Each structure stands twice: as C-alpha cells, then as structure tokens.
Structure 1
Amino acid sequence: MSLFLHKLRQMARMMVGVPDYDIYLRHMREHHPDHAAMDRITFFRERQEARYGGKNGGKCC
C-alpha cells in the first residue's frame, strides 16, 4: 500500500474514532519498552472506554 493510501486510511479512521493499533504498538516500543502491549481486542476496548466514559481520560503519559 502506498504511503498516501496508508495516511488516508489512518486519517479516515481517526475521523470516525477508530484507534490505530499499529501506532499504539510503535508508541509502546519507543516509550514503554519495559511494559507488555495490550492485544488488539483489549486495546480497542480500552480506547472505547476512554472515549465514552473512561476513568483516566485516555491519557497514558
């Protein structure tokens, strides 16, 4: 997939509120290498909870 299409897909998903798991994984590798990353299903559920009434407002850092 071209970079343009990848970015377009990512932007469209952000506009409708679908979190990007690949970005999350990259963030975890770069900023929290000592913590295990959530699996895709747990990540999606956590993002939904953060968006629609989560306890911590969706902030990790």
Structure 2
Amino acid sequence: MVIKGGVTQYQVGQKLGISANAYSKLENGHTKLDTERLLFILQIFDVNLNDFFKDFKDFKDFKDFKEK
C-alpha cells in the first residue's frame, strides 16, 4: 500500500526496522506505538511534533477522541 508522499508501508517498515505487516498494525492501532518510533515516523513524513498533537487540544480527554 502506498501512503503519503508515495512511500509504501514496506519502505517505512524498513526504515523502522520492522515488516510492512508490523507497520500496518501500527497504523491500524493493533500494536502500541512507543515514543521512539513515533518520533521516527514523524521524521520520515516531515511532520512537526507540535503539529501532530495540535488536533488533540479540542478534545476533553482521549475517550472523546476515540469516539469520533
């Protein structure tokens, strides 16, 4: 599967040292994402950490986010 910027799950998985299947599980929330991997993924996609989390400010708590 091709994701943002024409990068495949396989390519991102390679950069993270995991399989495309393992990366897919991260994308779908079937596997927990540790901080180190999150930061590396943000780097791969050239996303600022503050920009990534700004969408969370509109939710009272994580429960509200999960329901949307």
**TM-score of the alignment, normalized to the shorter chain, above 0.5:** no
Bigger helix share: 2
TM-score by length of 1: 0.32
TM-score by length of 2: 0.30
Bigger strand share: 2
